[in-house]
């Protein structure tokens, strides 16, 4: 076994306090690239056991009641995946059947291997190497089980979040719709925006997604006529999943408003979506949506659902209220906030 590739389990605890057994076993195993720690007595054993040996080697004469009790207590702390191998070296004169029966009773959560002395060096080294390899495989199974458990929790969490988002979108859409047809169209559009951001995150392969991808995914359906009426520009910027989802829904509201009342209502209309990151120590990101070439804009007599949502959602994400301006030349929406609010920490 490669001595440079030790894991938390790749070491051998030797309990052989009499004669020169411990020195011989240690020398033999170290020559074959294994890490060995020898115990002088039960007190030493109690100190080393919590450090999780991969294998225990014990001579039968070292197995006095306190030692057996210490190992038994250690075995009760082992996780379900663990099957700790314990090699017991027996003299020919030892009462082997009695020793086996006693250890089976006291150490039920262990894999006991009995070797009769004098021990052939090849037999001992081969047995220890095989046991350590089994322990590594056990640990790999443990890691796999942990990953599967984490994935199940994560999937459950994300499904709940998606369902909560869908429910919230439906309730907000219902409040702002006068007819079933309007409800259906608006709800489908908002679900599409939600699906777009999840597609972007999936393609990114993690919990972060590029701002440029969020914008392009959201605006893509409105480029179907072959005319690019959108100008998108800014530095590379990764957003958290939550920030990306909220921003996609806000962009959907803005583009829907532009189609109904703004720049996209006329063939000459254009929309600019640009962002920048300030070079200061406390980095700030600024995002601007600006419409030009559409009909003359007049401030509404009351704020509609879309405007209220955009203001509240962007404020929640960026930590600052956006500035929505109903300029006669075209609607503008500008929002700024700390980069740390929208981008993953790493």
The number of beta carbons lying within 10 Å of the beta carbon of residue 2 is 7
Domain with residue 237: its CATH number is 3.30.565.10
Per-residue confidence band for 346, with pLDDT thresholds at 50, 70 and 90? low
3-class SS of residue 246: helix
With cut-offs at 50, 70 and 90, classify the pLDDT of residue 201: low
pLDDT tens digits, one per residue of 261-297: 899 888 889 999 999 998 776 789 999 999 999 999 8
Predicted confidence (pLDDT) at residue 143 exceeds the cutoff of 60 = yes
- In whole angstroms, give the CA distance from residue 322 to residue 300: 17
Helix ranges, the chain (H): 21-31, 42-48, 65-76, 96-106, 121-175, 180-204, 211-219, 241-260, 305-318, 339-342
Residues in CB range of 326: below 8 A, 6 or more apart: 297, 298, 299, 300
In whole angstroms, give the CA distance from residue 254 to residue 240. 21
- The 10s digit of each residue's pLDDT in 296-322 is 988 887 777 678 888 998 999 999 999
Task: Indicate if 71 and 201 belong to the same structural domain.
Answer: no
Cα Rg of the chain (Å, integer): 34
- Conformational region of residue 276, where left means phi above 0, alpha means psi within -120 to 50, and beta covers everything else: beta
* pTM for the full predicted model: 0.50
| CATH code at position 14 | 3.40.50.2300
37 forms bridges with which residues in the sheet?
13
Establish if 167 belongs to a structural domain.
no
- Identify which of 115, 117, 116, 144 has the alpha carbon closest to the alpha carbon of residue 130: 115
Q: Are the C-beta atoms of 241 and 208 separated by less than 8 Å?
A: yes
Residue 337 and residue 201 in one domain: yes
Query: Residue 100 is part of which domain span?
Result: 3-142
In a domain, 168, yes or no: no
- Using one digit for the tens of pLDDT, what is the confidence trace for 213-225? 888 887 876 765 5
Listed residue (13, 27, 98, 105) closest to 59, CA to CA? 13
């Amino acid at each position: 076994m490669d001595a440079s590739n030790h894991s938390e389990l790749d070491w051998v605890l030797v309990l052989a306090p009499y004669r020169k057994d411990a020195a011989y076993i240690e020398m033999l195993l170290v020559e074959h690239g294994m890490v060995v720690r020898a115990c002088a007595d039960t007190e030493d054993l109690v100190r080393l056991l919590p450090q999780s040996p991969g294998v225990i080697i014990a001579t039968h004469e070292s197995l006095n009641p306190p030692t057996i009790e210490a190992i038994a207590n250690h075995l009760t702390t082992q996780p379900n995946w663990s099957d700790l191998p314990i090699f017991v070296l027996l003299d020919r004169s030892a009462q082997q059947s009695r020793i086996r029966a006693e250890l089976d009773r006291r150490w039920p959560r262990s894999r006991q291997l009995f070797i009769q002395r004098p021990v052939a060096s090849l037999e001992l080294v081969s047995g220890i190497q095989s046991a350590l390899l089994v322990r590594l495989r056990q640990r790999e199974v443990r890691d796999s089980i942990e990953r599967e458990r984490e994935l199940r929790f994560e999937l459950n969490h994300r499904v709940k979040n998606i369902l909560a988002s869908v429910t919230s979108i439906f309730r907000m859409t219902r409040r702002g719709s006068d007819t079933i047809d309007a409800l259906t169209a608006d709800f489908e559009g908002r679900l599409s925006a939600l699906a777009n951001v999840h597609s972007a995150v999936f393609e990114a392969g993690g919990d972060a997604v590029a701002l440029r991808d969020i914008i392009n995914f959201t605006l893509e359906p409105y480029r179907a006529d072959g005319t690019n009426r959108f100008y998108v520009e800014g530095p590379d910027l990764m957003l958290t999943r939550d920030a990306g989802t909220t921003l996609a829904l806000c962009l959907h509201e803005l583009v829907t408003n532009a189609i109904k009342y703004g720049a996209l209502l006329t063939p000459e209309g254009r929309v600019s979506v640009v962002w920048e990151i300030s070079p200061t120590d406390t980095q700030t990101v600024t995002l601007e949506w600006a419409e030009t070439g559409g009909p003359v804009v007049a401030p509404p007599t009351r704020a509609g659902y879309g405007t209220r949502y955009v203001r509240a959602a962007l404020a929640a994400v960026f930590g600052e209220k956006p500035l929505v301006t109903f300029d006669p030349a075209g609607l503008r929406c500008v929002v700024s906030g700390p980069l740390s609010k929208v981008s993953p920490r790493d």
